[in-house]
Amino acid sequence: MTQKFDVVVIGAGPGGYVAAIKAAQLGLSTACIEKYTDKEGKLALGGTCLNVGCIPSKALLDSSWKFHEAQDGFAIHGINHAGVTMDVPAMVGRKANIVKGLTSGVATLFKANGVTSLQGHGKLLAGKKVEITKPDGSTEIIEAENVILAPGSRPIDIPPAPVDNNVIVDSTGALEFQAVPKRLGVIGAGVIGLELGSVWSRLGAEVTVLEALDTFLLAADTAVSKEALKTLTKQGLDIKLGARVTGSKVNGEEVVVNYTDKDGEKTITFDKLIVAVGRRPVTTDLLAADSGVNIDERGFIHVDDHCATTVPGVYAIGDVVRGMMLAHKASEEGIMVVERIKGHKTQMNYDLIPSVIYTHPEIAWVGKNEQQLKAEGVEVNVGTFPFAASGRAMAANDTGGFVKVIADAKTDRVLGVHVIGPSAAELVQQGAIGMEFGTSAEDLGMMVFSHPTLSEALHEAALAVNGGAIHIANRKKR
């Protein structure tokens, strides 16, 4: 007898597993299909984020930053030491243990909430039927009242630098180095490239980042991107803008990379090369020809503002639909879809999805940046506050960067919060909460912030919007 569920989710990443748990919590019979397995051949839930993305990269970032501080940052605190070394396999092993704990945690949550976990490759057929190809090659068909497609994304391959998983690796391979490469190349100065480049640079690698665009961090506020470029360069990342890779050749245990820039053709040799030029949706063999779901020429699934596809009762979320490829976007889309299945009119505010780069200093923003608002003809007032004037940042010896608050010149409503500095992700989230409720810069300025905290920098930046900052000299309003 064919199994039938109220909701079938294909993919157990941060969009899929959250959707499955929420559906079960709302009383819907729910199954979640996932095919990814770990090195031991066991089903590993959590998708790219938990297994080979957000979580493992942050583990390595934290470990490498602690090593960097032990080498270069403890003396100012009066902590004397000598001979600090890094055990790379131990660092990578710690990362693996964190991943295992979290992925097994998702399995526990499935069990606790009554989600049926099915292992295999899920494919949507006509009539909201789903075919599951199991690890042994056998197939099973289940039926659903509603289907949520959440297959995620994978790294983009580029012909000039084909990944061999040895010398040339993608972001997944860069998490598994067992030794620090002396010369490390990174293609792409986006979030992934900068984070992975930072990890291995802190551990001693000579890192060169080749970025095809002439502009650094195009999506960030110009003031933030300029500060980030200056800071990361000072930390040792050699970031070459306008450098388009045209070819590569692996010679034994090194790779020669050809690229062009404004001065012409050039070559550079690395011991390892990371290809981090972005990600593409995983829709291969996801949909039967007669499923009725439409995909564009880039492989993205067509959906409306509420993630509904062209087939009633079939939805798609996360990296396979329009918008930013972010785990938190996928999770909230999953919740929105399930609640709408239950008849609620839940919506998502796509204008307030925070972006974060976990370098040091952290880089984060929410809302619009100054160049976007100027292009739209919006008059704004801007307030900034440097962490160099923050008592808490000074006490922690972490004073690089600033907070920037942008408000509408006529209404004072906050339109964007941009941070580069310590705990940027947390401070931007405070801004996002306020912006969700239509906060003004004056509102933020009138709130009481505990002292001494890094959050006070957001408070002071908001005060500075209207020329009322206390702990810096105020600029004249524009």
- For residue 122, say whether it is annotated as part of any ligand binding site: yes
Is 136 annotated as a binding-site member?
A: no
Q: Which residues are catalytic?
A: 451
16-27 burial, b if ≥16 CB within 10 A, otherwise e?
bbbbbbbbbebe
11 is in an annotated binding site: no
Annotated binding residue at 325? yes
Phi, psi of 252 (to 5 degrees): 65, -115
Tell me: is residue 418 an annotated ligand-binding position.
no
Residue 287 labelled as part of a binding site: no
Estimate the crossing angle of helix 16-25 against helix 327-341, to 10 degrees.
Answer: 30
> Residues at the annotated binding site for NAD(+)?
188-195, 211, 278
> Residues at the annotated binding site for FAD?
58, 122, 319, 325-328
> Residues at the annotated binding site?
58, 122, 188-195, 211, 278, 319, 325-328
